Amino acid sequence: MRKNDMVRTQERMYTTALPPQHSDSDSRIIDTPGPSLHLYQVWKGNNRFCFNGRIILGPDSRSLFLTVSLIVVPVILFCAFVSQRLVEQFPRHIGNLIVVLCPLFAVYVVILLLITSARDPGIIPRSLHPPEPEDDGYVSSISSDWPGSQNGPPGVPPTKDTLVNGVIVKIKYCQTCMLYRPPRCSHCSICNNCVERFDHHCPWVGQCIGKRNYRFFFMFVSSTTMLCLYVFAFCWVNIMKIMDAYHCNLWRALSRSPVSGFLILYTFGAAWFVGGLTGFHLYLIFTNQTTYENFRYRYNVKMNPYNRGCFRNVGEVFFSKIPRSKHNFREMVKGDSSSVFASSMSLRHPMSPEIPKTSSDIEMGKRQAVAAEDLEDIQSQIDSVGGLERCGTQPRHTNWDHKTNWESSPDIQMLAAEFGMEHGSTGRQKIEGANDLKT
């Protein structure tokens, strides 16, 4: 009787688990032959896309509405309440020019803002597989502060050395994108992308600032500074004209034009902010640094390998050709669409433009991958324990291929049961078999 129970237990242990049931939308993705989705629909970063992938935005692109309002509202107030007095105080053609220049300048600033925000900053394409060990010409160098080799692919060093203008520069391996970042490239934790010549992630623009949009970002910041100074100056001119016309002091003039006083205070504070930012980035351009490098590497202590002189640095930013994007977000996904389904199921939902992707989804996918690896390790420990028990205590049965009776510790049983509930029925079947054999 006990032998029959053991045979039934063995059959239950090695019964093939039924495939998981999928929804109708998932089945359509699997059953559709060939590429069926655009790249922006299965994009693994946190970006948002508009107009069917023609425009790429950052995950915090809603801040654009605040930034645009901070630019447009003061200009509307200036044109509605201040410029009308200037038309009367100046000759007609000069007054009309003052009125027209301000809104035109504001439109120019908003266009630069939208170009900076809606442009690919220089995203590096992700690799489908980790690189082969020593498959390039770099010299490997294991960093002492690396938290452990188990965090990266086996055989792939965490850092490598490369020469930049005769100076050795370390490049790091990105576990998310599965590639060695090119020099001056960094992974943005907000957008979840590796960006070429990464400068910083600007919350006012809602986008990373990199190689392909840094020029427009600087033009936007500097133009905003000039717009603030323009409104600030002519508001003061309006106050002075009121003082001369009514022979009054400053406070009475401000009471006659309170909008001018408000705009003077507003543009004064804004000019300090964007003006200081413009000056800081002028320093970075002259010395050929990025914001990330300036805060992290401190080239005033060590040599900057990218500095080629002031004039060449300025020419590199403003007069060099902007490289084309490495992505065509509207192209169809290459390869078998089942791989697309597999990547989408790792985030517990199919990737589609209607369902936004968040950082918590990405972290959940990473935790599931780690859990799957832990489950495999636990199962291998169980199998090894079973092999030892079979060799030492149990006779060989003809119905069993290579596994027989085994006994595991309560900790292993508990972990295997926990991971088995999440990743399939195979782990639960083995635990049930183990309990039957023990009884």
The catalytic residues are 202
Which residues, 6+ apart, have CB-to-CB distance to 5 below 8 Å?
Answer: 436
* Count of Cβ atoms closer than 10 Å to residue 162 Cβ: 16
**Structural tokens at position 308:** 């080629």
Quote the CA–CA distance of 366 and 370 in Å, as a whole number.
Answer: 6
Quote the CA–CA distance of 368 and 374 in Å, as a whole number.
Answer: 10
Quote the CA–CA distance of 83 and 86 in Å, as a whole number.
Answer: 5
CA distances from 321 to 103, 212, 315, 427 (A): 30, 10, 10, 57
Half-sphere exposure of 177 (CA within 13 A, CB side): 23
Long-range interactions of 280-288: CB distance < 8 A, separation 24+: 281/218, 281/221, 285/218, 285/313, 285/314, 285/317, 286/310, 286/313, 286/314, 287/313, 288/313, 288/316
Query: Among all chains, which residue has been given the structure tokens 């060695």?
Result: 180
Beta pairing class for 48-50 and 55-57: antiparallel
Quote the CA–CA distance of 140 and 154 in Å, as a whole number.
Answer: 14
